[in-house]
Chain A
Amino acid sequence: MLDLQRICFGYSNNIMLLKELNLHISAGEFIVVAGRNGSGKTTLTKLMMGLLKPTTGHVLFEGEDVTGQGADRMARHVGYVFQNPDRQMFRDTVGQEVAYGPEQLGFETAATAAAVEEALRLTDLTDLAGVYPRTLSKGRKQRVAIASALAMKPRLLILDEPTSGQDAGQREQLLSVMTRLNRQGMTIMLVTHDMEILTRYASRVLVVGDAGLAFDGMVETLFNGDYPLAQWGLSEPAIVKISRGLSALGVATVFAAEELQKNIQPLLRKGDGHEPHSTAH
């Protein structure tokens, strides 16, 4: 769907933040982008969105060269949600706010209304359509920003650290929206430092570092012990550490609490003969 070919980019001419980067994104993927602060994660996503123009190299969408087209044109294909939703909110109601994008892209009135309705439904915001968006909680504001992107009917949705500053409930709600969208065929790319999100949701992980993609692969491969996680600003999630520590007892390395609980239940039964209480959620 989206290809980056031999991309070089630097904020000053002498220092290249990204060198000869190649990347292919297929439809339906749930990609998590990780890496140290300042490694170029946001730069990479901004290049894909057209907010930055590569020094050299090409960006292709469905085979068409879209290099340097600008974000306002890329918005037809790619939705982008920033970390701080306050930066984009300026209308009186959530519904009007979500309608801004389709209006900018020249949708007909009926099509705009339908797009807004669907975007609000997908993000569980239908009941808040008439509310002033700035009074909402950070989690809800973030969902308004996602709805604003969805209303433009993008094929790829990029979210830059969307869960920062949110409580556990808001975070879960946001991620369940993301999962649902992904199941419906939307390609998701999420920039995050949260290792739990990475292990639980990613179908593919990109680690940005060393002026390019330091890692591109599956979660299982990333945590197999062969990679310099600390050097890339990553750490093993607790669940991986625990399951690895239990490997001597025959427990396989897993990436979700539910899986670990399932794997250790036979051991606990063997140990005291009692059925353990369920603790995973």
Chain B
Amino acid sequence: MNRIAPLTKLMATLALSLWALLLASLTGLGILLLVQLLLLLVTGTLKKTSTALRGLSLVALSLVGLQYLLGSTLEESINSGLRMLDMATAFIWLLATARPQDLSSALVQQCRVAPEYAFMFTTALRFIPDFFAESQAVQEAQACRGYSTRGNRLKALLAYLAVVKPLVLKAVNRSETMAMSMEMRGFGGNGPRSFSTSVALVNRDYAVLAALTSVTVGLVLLKLKFF
């Protein structure tokens, strides 16, 4: 599974997200989650993504609780939580198995997306782990000056400004440096550009895409029949 092309992975992620929207029953959404966990296991990324999955599960649980408190039935609330978890897990799998530059390459070469937008997309993806690392570093620096999240929630939220401000300023600074360095290396020019990575589809990709299409069509038909 790791050897399939980035475009196929992207399509699989979109298909999995679409299936999460099409499936309405708890059983269906539960099976979809199990399939995705199996996919992570098969691709050897379950351990690497376990922290993110645990965090997402907590968010899903909060979503269930919030929906239930706002008047939804328990089944509807669990449905929403599971659906969110299904969709997010698909993206986690994509990020864990595809390199950002390959995704960018696929978007430009195969989906005809403008390089600027493709680059924006992949930079945003790359920014997530960097952002968490930087956030941790800023929190450590402020903790050395007495910053604490102990005490009541409102106080903690206000205190968080001491972390947010340097983070934002650093991000702005960094994006400016990155923009300059990209321009200096020819980014945004009008001439033709090339890609060093090959992202062409091969037979196994066509097979995966055919399977994804079949399942998607099947689910759409089922949805139309029972709607």
Q: Give chain A's interface residues, CB within 8 Å of chain B.
A: 46, 49, 51, 70-72, 75, 79-80, 82, 84, 86-90, 100-101, 103-105, 134, 148-149, 152
Neighbouring B residues of A80 by C-beta, 8 Å: 144
Can you name 26 A-B residue pairings with CB atoms under 8 Å?
Answer: A51-B140, A70-B143, A71-B140, A71-B144, A72-B143, A75-B145, A75-B146, A79-B144, A82-B141, A82-B144, A86-B170, A86-B173, A87-B134, A87-B138, A88-B138, A88-B142, A88-B144, A88-B145, A88-B166, A89-B166, A90-B165, A90-B169, A101-B145, A104-B146, A105-B146, A152-B146
Residues on A with beta carbons closer than 8 Å to the beta carbon of B147? 72, 104
A112 to chain B, nearest CB (A): 12
B161 at the interface (CB under 8 A from A): yes
Contact, CB under 8 Å: A152 / B145: yes
Q: Which of B144, B148, B170, B173 contacts A51 (CB 8 A)?
A: B144
Interface size in chain B (residues, C-beta < 8 A): 20
Q: Are A49 and B165 closer than 8 Å at their CB atoms?
A: no
Q: Which residue of B lies closest to A104 (CB)?
A: B146
> Min CB distance, B190 to chain A, in Å?
36
Minimal beta-carbon separation of A231 from chain B (angstroms)? 30
Q: Which residues of B contact A46 (CB under 8 A)?
A: 140
- 9 further A-B pairs in the complex, CB-CB below 8 A; given A46-B140, A86-B173: A51-B140, A70-B148, A71-B140, A71-B143, A75-B146, A82-B141, A88-B142, A88-B166, A90-B166
6 tightest A-B CB contacts, nearest first: A104-B146, A90-B165, A71-B143, A80-B144, A72-B148, A101-B145
Can you name the residue of chain A whose Cβ is closest to the Cβ of B159? A104
Cα–Cα, bound, A105→B143 (Å): 11
Checking B134, B138, B146 against A72 with a beta-carbon cut-off of 8 angstroms, the contacting residue is B146
Q: A100-B162, A134-B169 are in contact. Are A87 and B146 (CB under 8 A)?
A: no
**Smallest Cβ distance from B66 to chain A, in angstroms?**
31
Contact, CB under 8 Å: B145 / A104: yes
For chains A and B in complex, what number of residue pairs have CB atoms within 8 angstroms? 66
Whether A87 contacts B170 in the complex (CB less than 8 A), given A72-B150, A100-B162, comes out as yes
State how many angstroms separate the Cβ of B164 from the closest Cβ of chain A.
8
In the assembled complex, which residues on chain B have CB atoms less than 8 Å from the CB atom of A84? Answer: 137
B residues with CB within 8 A of A: 134, 137-138, 140-148, 150, 161-162, 165-166, 169-170, 173
CA A49 to CA B148, docked complex, whole Å = 14
CB distance from B154 to the nearest CB of A (A): 16
The complex places the Cα of A228 from the Cα of B141 at a distance, in Å, of: 34
Q: In the assembled complex, which residues on chain B have CB atoms less than 8 Å from the CB atom of A90?
A: 161-162, 165-166, 169
Complex-state Cα separation, A86 to B162, whole angstroms: 12
- Give chain B nearest CB distance to A68 CB in angstroms: 13
Q: How far is the CB of A205 from chain B (nearest CB, A)?
A: 24
Which of A72, A87, A100: most chain B CB closer than 10 A? Answer: A87
Chain A nearest CB from B174 CB (Å) reads 10
The chain A residue sitting closest to B149, CB to CB, is A72
The reply to whether A104 and B166 contact each other, CB–CB distance below 8 Å, is no
Return A217 CB to nearest CB of chain B, in Å. Answer: 28
Q: How far is the CA of A71 from the CA of B146 in the complex (A)?
A: 7
- Assembly CA distance A211 to B150 (angstroms): 33
Residues on the A chain within 8 Å of B170, using CB: 86-87
